[in-house]
Amino acid sequence: MATFILIHGACTGGWCWEKVVPLLEANGHKVCAPDLPGLGSDPTPPANVTLADNVEKVSRLLDKMEEPVILVGHSLGGITISQAAEARRRKLKALVYLCALLPLSGKAARDMTGMEPDAMFRLSRELSQDGATYTFARDKLPSLFYADVSPEDCYRAMQRLRPQPAIISTTPVTLTDDRFGSVPRWYIECTHDNAIRFELQRKMVALTPCTVLRLECGHSPYFSHPEELVEHLETIARA
């Protein structure tokens, strides 16, 4: 059995894994799905949060684990898990990028999304007046994040979204071959993703090779295809 830590993406919280956690636990795995600082139920003001805060949160969780962890990052969560791997490589069994940003060293999230400048993800983003946080245009959210999600799940998710700390997307990561590069990497492609489009996913994997699995789904497989997602996570746990 494996231990999983599931890291959410922009504006969401650990709640996004609510269909996945019980399935993994039913299979005997240990699972943690934390809220990153400033998101979910975490009380930190989003405007104060840095990438270092995210990495510290994940590192503290990893330090408590008795066995190497499978660290899963969704969407923008790929930035956090990459930098966390640099900090705690010996605590990790594998990194899993779920339609996630897979950064190059010296690059920030915005550099990776900038590889597709016309992507809906970028065009839908709305920056706060002070520039410290951003959200997404509400009328774009269903097609951007929840295109193949039930209306009920889409509504519940949209009610729980919070402003995203903007600096997470503008802070470059620092990754080395002997630390980040030594952790086995998997990428779960989502072929119908409107946020991080399939073409961008393939470009990132070409730059930073991973073992690739695929889901025929949109940006939120934890809602639309939880059973199939768990099957892929089981494959990774057995590897």
Burial status of residue 9 (CB atoms within 10 A of its CB: 0-12, 13-18, 19 or more): buried
Grade residue 7 by pLDDT with cuts at 50, 70 and 90: very high
Looking at every residue in the chain, the average pLDDT score rounds to 96
Question: Which residue is listed with tokens 């920030």?
Answer: 108
Complete DSSP assignment for 182-237: GS-EEEEEETT-SSS-HHHHHHHHHHS--EEEEESS-S-HHHH-HHHHHHHHHHHH
Question: What is the Cα–Cα distance from 36 to 102, expressed in whole angstroms?
Answer: 18
Grade residue 117 by pLDDT with cuts at 50, 70 and 90: confident
Task: Give all domains of the chain, ordered by start, each with its CATH number.
Answer: 3-238 (3.40.50.1820)
Longest Cα pair distance anywhere in the chain, in angstroms? 47
pLDDT digits (tens, 9 = 90+) for 119-174: 777 778 999 999 999 999 999 999 999 999 999 999 999 999 999 999 999 999 99
Question: What is the Cα–Cα distance from 115 to 179, expressed in whole angstroms?
Answer: 26
pLDDT digits (tens, 9 = 90+) for 220-235: 999 999 999 999 999 9
Residues in the chain: 239
Q: According to the model, what pLDDT value does residue 121 have?
A: 72
Q: According to the model, what pLDDT value does residue 87 have?
A: 98
Q: According to the model, what pLDDT value does residue 116 have?
A: 85
Q: According to the model, what pLDDT value does residue 163 have?
A: 97
Question: What is the Cα–Cα distance from 164 to 11, expressed in whole angstroms?
Answer: 5
Q: According to the model, what pLDDT value does residue 52 have?
A: 98
Residue from 19, 32, 21, 71 nearest 220 by CA: 19
Grade residue 192 by pLDDT with cuts at 50, 70 and 90: very high
